[in-house]
Amino acid sequence: MKKPALRWLSDIYAFTTSKIVLLALAVLVMCVSKVNASELNVMVNESVMVAELNRSELRQIFTGQRQYWDNGTKITVFVLQDTDELHRQFCRDILQMFPYQLSRLWDQITYSGQGITPIRVTSYQALVDALENTEGAIGYVERTDIVKLRRVEVELK
């Protein structure tokens, strides 16, 4: 039978351990949520009066099938490189496609005259700048960013 002091110590140890476990879990959840769709926002240039798009509409835009907004403004799509984690997250969680699928589709469109494909930028800052400065632009940003852009609610069902 354990002595009371040792039980008290073991309680502190258990409490501390549980806190460490809780803290580790919290960090894990934060890490997981970093690659969750909720941390990514689909954004449009302030000139675009669109508040909501569903997955099907976004696929049409990002695969070049739809090239104009309803008010007649030309849509210009900006994306990051295939290897960028934010782009991979956007493909996977929003479009439900793999980056290589999307790239191949864009290559087929570009090199068989089917239409205009998204513009790839080389850095996150270039993406934000392009979205802010291009009329009719659409893209994505990290949710925590404060940018001069209009957020689009995405219906994922």
Partner 1 sequence: MKNHIAFALAIVSSFAVDAQTDFTWHGYVSQGITQSKDSSFITDDNNVTGELTEIGLNGYYQLSENISIAGQINYLDGGNRFEQGARLDYLFVDWKLPNLPGGWRGKIHAGRFKNTHWLYSSTRDVPQTRYTSVLPQSVYFDGFRDVALGSNGILTSFSHYGKEYTWELNWSYGRSNINDSQRDFLLGNEAKGKIKQDFVHQASVFLQPSSMTWKIGASWLNSDFRYMPSQDDNRLSGRANVERFMLSAQYFSENWEVSAELLREKQDSQGLFAPDFAEKRTGEGGFVQFRYLFNNHVSGLLGYDTYINDTSDSDGKDLEARTGGLIPAYFGYQDTYTLGLRWDIAPKWRIQGEYHWVEGATRVVSLLNRDVASHADKHWKMWSIQFMYWF
Residue 111: Cβ within 10 Å count: 9
Report the run of H or E that residue 119 belongs to, with start and end. strand 119-120
Q: Could you say whether residue 46 binds partner 1 (CB under 8 A)? A: no
Report the alpha-carbon distance of residue 83 to residue 139 in Å, rounded: 16
- The answer for residues whose C-beta is within 8 angstroms of residue 88's C-beta and 6 or more apart is 82, 99
The contact mask relative to partner 1 for 113-132 (x = CB under 8 A, - = no) is: xxxx--xx-x----------
Please tell me whether residue 68 binds partner 1 under the rule CB under 8 A: yes
Residue 83 or 125 having the CB closest to partner 1? 83
Binding site for partner 1 (CB under 8 A): 55-57, 59-60, 65-68, 72, 76, 81-83, 92, 95-98, 100-101, 104, 107-108, 110-116, 119-120, 122, 134, 157
